[in-house]
Chains A and B, each alone.
Chain A
């Protein structure tokens, strides 16, 4: 690999904090090799572009949709293979209009995760190359992982 620059957690934290003073809030939770933060949904794409291009975060491990009942969340786990740091970025989305910029143009690995979050929660990822149903048939009219979608066992 060409990328050999490594950063410590504190360096990553201070770089993000100086570039996004109001948009990104760090959590107090401390774990080895982890950094927890929440970001404003409008700043997400800029933040991710900086993470990828400047800080060497080259691997988007996971994108998870969450239905918090009053709001949706899109949670990103992004890793750096060279610095061995995993970031957890939580983005809050309004419940009536869950839209956020797609990170698939940056990391191809996010492609199916975003499609799955759309499939299960109805979260719209703007700029996704192909936002269609993935696991469920294309003619489904509801989003089964939403909390207001009742299952038979309850």
Chain B
């Protein structure tokens, strides 16, 4: 049969955002694939060159509404590296806790997205319900449900309100019970498993070389997590372990994300114990940055995010480059898709956790 190219997107239930996956098919089998991106390109990196350093924090939130805290956090880390600002201890704990809550929120949104993809609408309803609890926590912490504008260069905007820690503990207790329910619903569902097990395995060597990071890399058995290998804030003082699976298939990527949610709960609990009960949460950063460069990497829910910032002595950055984890993972997707069926595409791509805001920038 003659091969042909099919456009899956820009509007397609599989895409979860505005992008186009072109696949070359021989009958039902995918022989080649080519992601086409740029539909959401806003010129983010050019825009920030015209804005003051603090003005970029809410813009960094908009890189991905699903995990906006981690993006403004990595921007603040890069700016602090450039300006030489040391963050107070309590602010570091608040940031790490928010990071982990954001990771749970983002993973829940991923779970809600792949549920309908793979024919399980119930998990969508459950995951969205639980995500609401974490958005409530953020709302009481910083007043917004999704784009928080919460970290600042040199700390965080405000301290946790009274009773926030009590609400947090209650939410975590409730959420851990619900996690068991999700696993019953998905892992013990043979139809759901059939669409994931042994699908699109990626070897450890390929995964590293192609720049795949985050849960997709750890699903291939590579022990690499920026929180562990290049610790920032206070991760090196915490007692936690990386979630790794050796299989490398879609199911392994699913399991790593589910395990990470439990691990995030554990990290937040430990932070609550170790956090200084009072103290400053913010230092005043300089208005202008020195001539030089700053760089920060951190573990975004989707993988390794990096910001490289060049200061020229003014109050605006000369250049700010964003490394988006999904941008690189998407470039590796043809390797995963080849030789599988068209019907496997939602399963393979959904498991990478698509976010176009950070990809196109």
B26-55 interface with A by 8 A CB criterion:
37-38, 41, 43, 45-47, 50
Q: Is A7 an interface residue (CB 8 A)?
A: no
Size of chain A's interface in residues, with CB distance under 8 A? 38
Proximity string of chain A (51-88) to chain B, C-beta cutoff 8 Å, 1 when within and 0 when not: 00000001111101111000000010101010010101
Q: How far is the CB of B83 from chain A (nearest CB, A)?
A: 14
**Which of the 9-residue segments B88-96, B168-176, B203-211 touches chain A?**
B203-211
Q: How many A-B Cβ pairs are below 8 Å? A: 93
Q: Which residues of B contact A145 (CB under 8 A)?
A: 45-46
Size of chain B's interface in residues, with CB distance under 8 A? 39
Proximity string of chain B (91-118) to chain A, C-beta cutoff 8 Å, 1 when within and 0 when not: 0000000000000000000000000000
Contact A86 B230 (CB under 8 A): yes
**Which of the 9-residue segments A14-22, A39-47, A92-100, A108-116 touches chain B?**
A108-116
* Residue of A109, A134, A151 touching B37 (CB-CB under 8 A): A134
* Residue of A77, A108, A136, A144 touching B295 (CB-CB under 8 A): A77
Q: Is B79 an interface residue (CB 8 A)?
A: no
Q: Which residues of A contact B319 (CB under 8 A)?
A: 64, 66-67
A61-B306, A81-B222 known; A108 and B38 CB under 8 Å?
A: no
Q: How far is the CB of A64 from chain B (nearest CB, A)?
A: 4
State A107–B212 Cα separation when bound (angstroms). 11
Q: Which residues of A contact B212 (CB under 8 A)?
A: 109
Q: Which residue of A lies closest to B42 (CB)?
A: A135
Q: Is B327 an interface residue (CB 8 A)?
A: yes
Contact A136 B211 (CB under 8 A): no
Contact B45 A110 (CB under 8 A): no
Contact A151 B332 (CB under 8 A): no
Q: Is B331 an interface residue (CB 8 A)?
A: yes
A86-B230, A108-B332, A153-B50 known; A81 and B211 CB under 8 Å?
A: no
A116-154 interface with B by 8 A CB criterion:
120, 134-137, 144-145, 151, 153-154
Q: Is B310 an interface residue (CB 8 A)?
A: yes
Proximity string of chain B (316-350) to chain A, C-beta cutoff 8 Å, 1 when within and 0 when not: 00010101000110111000000000000000000
Contact B37 A154 (CB under 8 A): no
Q: Is A1 an interface residue (CB 8 A)?
A: yes
A1-34 interface with B by 8 A CB criterion:
1, 29, 31, 33-34
The 6 A-B residue pairs with the shortest CB-CB distance in the complex, in nearest-first order = A109-B211, A64-B321, A135-B38, A112-B331, A62-B323, A108-B210
Q: Interface residues, chain B, CB within 8 Å of chain A?
A: 37-38, 41, 43, 45-47, 50, 81, 204, 208-213, 222-224, 229-230, 292-293, 295, 297, 304, 306, 308, 310, 319, 321, 323, 327-328, 330-332, 360-361
